[in-house]
């Protein structure tokens, strides 16, 4: 029996990546949480104590409390690009390697961003809701008049892989693209003709559509609040496919309700899932989807495969495709 076969890995969802789990079972002992909902906190803590590795989702919190109680744990592989659910600093101190799944979901997320943009601007979801409610009685387009996406100005906040993929699609819509990011991207400017804005305020005031593509950190939490929404134009739309807490939901409701902006399309909310009584759900010019920007069949499969490669690499002592804290290995 190989040393790797004695390792134990806990997977916090069974139904999302079954092919990847089957592949992982060829190398290590695997235990899975059988429910579609997240494991309770006490289960996560117990399994962390018992396991050499964990495959987690973004709703699974890996913090100091968990890491303090898991001396056996060597790797946490997050099936996501965002890492706001994992305390990477603490993991490094505890000698726990952490990985994510970059480079496999940006195209799907960019597709979805444009889907949201078109849906809210051209009243696609609104029209669908009206039909299902029995409100389409006569042929009359006026109640459904929308805003053209082609030729508009798109402001992208965060020009990473996803933001760049969105900018590339914007070319086909003949859009002017502005961007603000932590670092300037001259190569993207040259290749795609996008325009750098050194501060976010200027971008907000110039854009017809503002699309968020930043990770959730202490710096980006509530990056869009009342002040920022006030800077946007009355005909503009906010698109968010990042994390819900990047936007102040109360301020967003007030801005859309009072006409400070024309509408919003959100794949993420705060809290999440959004409660059925949330006031945002009462607004006809807000489109909300259930955090599915990366959820194409092909992309989810690729994310699962990359996650397993990270786990096997960490436990075998070989290369991990996307390790975020390689210095952790020295702390074991």
Active site residues: 243, 272, 291
Distance CA 44, CA 177 (A): 43
Number of H helices, E strands in the chain: 12, 12
**3-class SS of residue 159:** coil
Q: What are phi and psi of 195, to 5 degrees?
A: -115, 130
Q: Indicate the SS3 state at residue 211.
A: strand
Cα separation, 332 vs 119, whole angstroms = 50
CB-neighbour burial class of residue 252 (10 A; exposed 0-12, middle 13-18, buried 19+):
buried
Distance (Å) of CA 152 to CA 213, 214, 225, 238: 19, 22, 23, 14
- Torsion sign across C-alpha atoms 119, 154, 207, 273: positive
Asked whether the CA dihedral 242, 248, 253, 255 is positive or negative, the reply is negative
Supply the DSSP symbol for 40. P
Q: Coil, strand or helix: which one is 301?
A: helix
Q: What is the DSSP string of 243-254?
A: -GGGB-HHHHHH
């Amino acid at each position: 029996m190989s040393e790797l076969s004695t390792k134990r890995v806990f997977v916090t969802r069974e139904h999302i990546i079954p092919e990847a789990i089957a592949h992982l079972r060829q190398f290590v002992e695997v235990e899975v949480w059988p429910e579609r909902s997240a494991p309770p906190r006490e289960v996560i803590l117990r399994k962390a104590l018992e396991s050499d590795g964990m495959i987690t989702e973004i709703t699974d919190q890996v913090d100091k409390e968990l890491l303090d109680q898991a001396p056996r744990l060597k790797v946490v592989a997050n099936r996501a690009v965002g890492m706001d659910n994992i305390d990477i600093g603490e993991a490094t101190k505890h000698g726990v390697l952490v990985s994510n799944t970059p480079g496999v979901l940006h195209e799907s997320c960019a597709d979805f961003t444009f889907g949201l943009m078109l849906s809210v601007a051209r009243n696609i979801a609104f029209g669908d809701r009206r039909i299902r409610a029995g409100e389409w009685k006569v042929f009359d387009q006026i109640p459904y008049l929308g805003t053209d996406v082609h030729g508009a100005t798109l402001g992208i906040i965060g020009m990473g892989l996803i933001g760049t993929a969105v900018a590339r699609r914007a070319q086909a819509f003949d859009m002017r693209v502005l961007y603000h990011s932590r670092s300037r991207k001259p190569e993207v400017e040259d290749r795609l003709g996008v325009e750098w804005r050194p501060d976010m305020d200027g971008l907000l005031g110039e854009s017809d559509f503002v699309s968020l593509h930043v990770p959730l950190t202490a710096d980006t939490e509530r990056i869009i609040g009342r002040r920022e929404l006030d800077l946007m134009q009355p005909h503009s739309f906010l698109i968010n496919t990042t994390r819900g807490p990047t936007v102040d939901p109360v301020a967003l409701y007030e801005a859309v309700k009072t006409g400070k902006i024309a509408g919003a399309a959100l794949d993420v909310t705060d809290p999440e899932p959004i409660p059925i009584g949330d006031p945002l759900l009462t607004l006809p010019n807000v489109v909300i989807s259930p955090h599915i920007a990366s959820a194409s069949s092909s992309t989810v499969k690729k994310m699962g495969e990359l996650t397993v490669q990270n786990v096997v690499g960490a436990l075998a002592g070989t290369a991990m495709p996307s390790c975020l804290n390689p210095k952790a290995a020295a702390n074991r």
